[in-house]
């Protein structure tokens, strides 16, 4: 039994290999870009984490705003809270009453300048 391989045998054996290689490469290319491309899954997950952080910051800022609005309403002339007015004037003007002692704190002064 002799084994002879001619051109037709080689073409018959490897004829579809380049096409299969191109299809496999194309699928690999598309999958890799679907995962790590500019609009891929990794980018989507990163943007979702960034969005969660921004929502947290938004809620913090909204809570601060509500607290400031409440304090502003207390200073309104229609509903003036004398204790709050006294506290604010002492803090802003650095005034103390008779028999009171003022102890300045460095940390408080630094926070006011921020």
Domain assignments of the chain as residue spans, ordered by start = 17-92
The pLDDT tens digits for 5-55 are: 665 666 677 776 767 778 899 999 999 989 988 889 999 999 999 999 999
Q: Which two tokens stand for residue 18?
A: 């380049």
List all residues 6 or more positions away from 90 whose beta carbon is below 8 Å from its beta carbon. Answer: 96
Q: Read off the pTM.
A: 0.48
User: Does 82 or 25 have the greater pLDDT score?
Assistant: 25
Cα-atom radius of gyration of the chain, to the nearest Å? 37
As a whole number of angstroms, the distance between CA 87 and CA 109 comes to 16
Element (H, E) at 66: helix 41-74
- Give CB contacts under 8 A, 24+ apart, made by 2-11: none
């Amino acid at each position: 039994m002799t084994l002879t391989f001619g051109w037709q045998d080689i073409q018959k054996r490897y004829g579809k290999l380049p096409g299969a290689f191109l299809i496999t490469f194309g699928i690999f290319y598309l999958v890799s870009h679907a995962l790590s491309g500019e609009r891929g899954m990794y980018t989507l997950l990163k943007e979702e984490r960034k969005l969660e952080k921004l929502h947290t910051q938004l809620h913090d800022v909204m809570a601060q705003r509500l607290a400031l609005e409440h304090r502003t309403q207390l200073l309104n002339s229609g509903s003036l809270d004398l204790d709050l007015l006294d506290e604010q004037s002492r803090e802003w003007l650095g005034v103390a009453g008779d028999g009171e002692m003022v102890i300045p704190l460095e940390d408080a002064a630094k926070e006011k300048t921020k």
